[in-house]
Structures are given as structure tokens and as C-alpha cells.
Amino acid sequence: MARYFDVHPDNPQPRSIRQVADLLRDGGLIAYPTDSCFALGCQLGNVDGLQRIRTIRNLDDKHHFTLVCADFAQLGQFVHIDNAVFRALKAHTPGQYTFILPATKEVPRKMLHPKKKTVGVRIPSHPVVTALLRELGEPLMSSTLLLPDEEDPMTEGWLIKDRLDNEIDAVIDSGECGTEPTTVINYSDGTAVVERAGAGDTGPFS
């Protein structure tokens, strides 16, 4: 049975955030809100957690997982970024974008696209996620909480707990969040390619 954390959206309770971080360190898989929609997340290197996400979402090995980072200092450890791409990312983060970039050796192999050796990265603008990432001290391995039989991501914490109670370890509920996933921009070849139009404006990358 998943634990349920009712967390204030603007001033998340430190005790709850610490408990969720401890659960992640113990190998847990959580559902949590972001500035676009709910996501599934586990600790970096949690192979079992990654497989559980694949199972819940029915994903193949070509799916780009995302490293959700607190800031650029964290993000820079895991992807290669030249100056031009850095400026583009800096202008649009934190925000509702996921960027696909070549991964460094710090990224677990099972997270990578099997042929391209790339990974998604993002810096969200959501107080709960920011607090959790700072408490955890490292990025979350994440994927949008979009179930295989649904067209839209789930939006309410109590419904997520009801649906996935035996498949995840915790739900963070800080009220309803959006229904639209991030906009995905692929910079793996150095130029911007819009792979998915979502919550972020595609205009600057078109």
C-alpha cells in the first residue's frame, strides 16, 4: 500500500519532504507533482524502480527517461552541453521543458537510449519538487505518469493512490497540477528539434 503525503504546494512541510527522500533512498518509487503534470520517480541508479516504471507505463527500451534536476550545477554532471545549447537551456529553465542531450558516464546505462546514448533532463519550477531534490541531493529518474490505456496524464493524488496503490510506494499530493506533459526538445545533434509539443511554448525552438 502506497503512503500518502499531503504537502502544501508553496511551502512544503520539511518533515514530509525528508520522509519521501528517505523512502527514495530505500529504493522506493513515488508519484509526484511537477509544473506540467504528475510524474513517476525513483533514485538515480535504482534499477528495480526503473523497471517498475517501464511496467506501469508499458515502455520499451527506446523510451527516453528524464533526470529531473534541482539546478544547472546538478544537470551539468549528467549531460554534455556546448555554449550555444547552454544559453538556450538557461533561457527556458526552470520551466515546462525536457531537453534530450548526450549523456555523460555518470548516467546509469539502463536509463540511456540504447543506440543514441542520450537522456532527457529538466529543471522544473515547482516548490515541492525543488524541496525534494534539494533534500535528496541528486536528480530523480523520472517519467510522465501517463498510463498505457489513458490519453491524458493523471491529475489528482488520491486517484493515483487508488489506481496504483500496489505498484508504487508513495504519492505526494499538493493539489491538482496540469494535464499536459513537458515540451520535449532534442538537442542531441546540437540543433533544436521539437519532439513533442506540450506545456512549454515551442515558438523559441521552431
**Residues 145-172: b if buried by 16+ CB within 10 A, e if exposed:** bbeeeeeebbbebeebbebbeeebbbbb
| pTM of this structure | 0.94
What is the rounded CA–CA span in Å between residue 58 and residue 147?
8
Rounded to an integer, what distance in angstroms lies between the CA atom of residue 112 and that of residue 117? 5
pLDDT in tens, 53-101: 999 999 987 788 899 999 999 999 999 999 999 999 999 999 999 999 9
72-84 per-position pLDDT tens digit: 999 999 999 999 9
Tens digit of pLDDT for each residue in 132-186?
999 999 999 999 999 998 888 888 899 999 999 999 999 999 987 878 899 999 9
Mean of pLDDT values over 116-120? 90
Residue 120 has pLDDT above 90, yes or no: yes
Give the domain 3-205 fold.
Answer: DHBP synthase (3.90.870)
* Cβ atoms of 44 and 161 closer than 8 Å: no
pLDDT attached to residue 110:
83
- pLDDT of 202 reads 95
What mean pLDDT is predicted for residues 3-30? 97
Neighbours of 23 (CB within 10 A): 18
